[in-house]
Amino acid sequence: MKNLFNTIMMLLCVSVVFAGNPDRQGEAGAYELLMNPWARSAGFHTMNTSFVSGVEALRLNPAGLTRINKTELAIGNTRYLVGTDINFNSFGVAQRTKGGAFGVSVMTVDFGDIPTTTGDQPAGTGGTFSPSWSNIGLSYAHLFENKVSVGITGRGVLETTSNVAAYGFAIDAGVQYVSGENDEIKFGISLRNVGTPMTFRGEGIAATRPAPNSEGQYDLTYYTRSQDFELPSALNIGLSYDLLFGQGGTVAVGNDATETKKSSKGTRVTLAGNFTANSFSRDQIGAGVEFALNDMFMLRGAYKYEIGTGSNEAIDEAPLYTGPSGGVTVQVPMSKKGTSKLAIDYAYRVTKLFDGTHNIGVRLNL
């Protein structure tokens, strides 16, 4: 495990050198890897790198996978850029083991029915098609002395239509560190979407043309060479601090009864900041706050700003998610001990184009 920790830290440090290059904006693909299908972290504008936990950690920082009681199941639906008819569906499960945790997450993108057009029929053929984008991730995280956790995710990426497909593989890695008498100080780093270039291949990029010097007697099929594209890698650095009011006592956590934490009863106010260095776009910075009452009701809001943008920037060039976000969680216990809980999460993010993005999800903690 020490070698795993050292390797992850080396990757995170090296990535700083290459991140944050607006001159390369638009050169990457598979941007669904940056889209957040989970409502709880979406309400924080995907900036809770330091304290994200459970299934949602598989998307942002896999080190947070260990910070669950035992088992967590989650499903989510996202209405992306309302007005475009694009939806995400997601499912994930996390299982804690002695000293660590495993997790699996699946995300699919539904584009709806798109009219089919051709060069001969630019107004449409009367038919429709729907691209299929999906990715599946397998994660493992390990916890050291309840203070430092490290995690890694391998994710397969698939983009297809009926006659064209592209495949890729990405790796996420992350670290979380907690400190303080009640673990109120948290720090997190994650490196996302480092992997293989992707290329579209298939019959859809082929064209049939008359053979040269054949006087139209027969045709030949020509395949267009498709340019490789990189994955949108990003580095996240986050810091948060919990203000605790009226909390007392300890409760057991995980499979080891000797591992305890401060009871969640009472009021918690979490202040957090986050910096994101993007390899293929401008860097982003932001901050947010989350209010929690008795671990049953949570209200959160955040603001994200893309560094280097101006107020006079053209609307079609402005960052999509520069601005506010907000969310709410209602969580109810399902057992007398309070270790099993059912939660409903909702989030809304303001967008420069269209009518924003809505996330809703259901989580079950056992």
pLDDT in 10s for each residue of the chain, 366 residues: 555 455 455 555 554 444 455 666 677 889 999 999 999 999 999 999 999 999 999 999 999 999 998 999 999 999 999 988 999 999 999 999 988 999 999 999 999 888 888 878 888 888 888 899 999 999 999 999 889 999 999 999 999 988 899 999 999 999 999 999 989 999 999 999 999 899 999 888 887 777 777 665 778 877 778 889 999 999 999 999 999 998 654 444 443 433 445 555 789 999 999 999 998 888 999 999 999 999 899 999 999 999 887 655 555 556 688 899 999 999 999 887 777 999 999 999 999 888 999 999 999 999
Task: Report how far apart, in Å, the C-alpha atoms of 358 and of each of 25, 102, 328, 348 are.
Answer: 26, 28, 12, 5
Cα(321)–Cα(278) distance, integer angstroms: 14
Residue 222 lies in a domain: no
Q: What is the DSSP-derived secondary structure letter of residue 120?
A: S
Question: Which domain, by its residues, includes 189?
Answer: 2-196+231-365
Q: Among candidates 139, 132, 159, which has minimal Cα distance to 30? A: 159
- Has residue 224 been placed in a domain? no
101 within a domain of the structure (yes/no): yes
| CATH number of the CATH domain containing 167 | 2.40.160.40
Residue 184 lies in a domain: yes
Q: Is residue 225 part of a domain?
A: no
The amino acid occupying position 50 is S
Long-range interactions of 2-6: CB distance < 8 A, separation 24+: 4/142, 4/150, 4/152, 5/144, 5/148, 5/150, 5/175
Residue at 226 is within a domain: no
CA distance 131 to 113: 9
- What are the beta bridge partners of residue 291? 269, 299
Residue type for position 99: G
Domain count for the chain, please give it. Answer: 1
Residue spans of alpha helices (H) in the chain: 2-18, 39-42, 57-60
Cite the DSSP H helix spans in 253-331.
none
Give yes or no for a contact between 325 and 42, defined as CB atoms under 8 angstroms apart.
Answer: yes
DSSP-derived secondary structure letter, 226 = P
Q: Which two tokens stand for residue 348?
A: 């809304």
**Is residue 214 in a domain?**
no
Is position 221 within any domain?
A: no
Mapped onto helix, strand or coil, the DSSP state of residue 143 is: strand
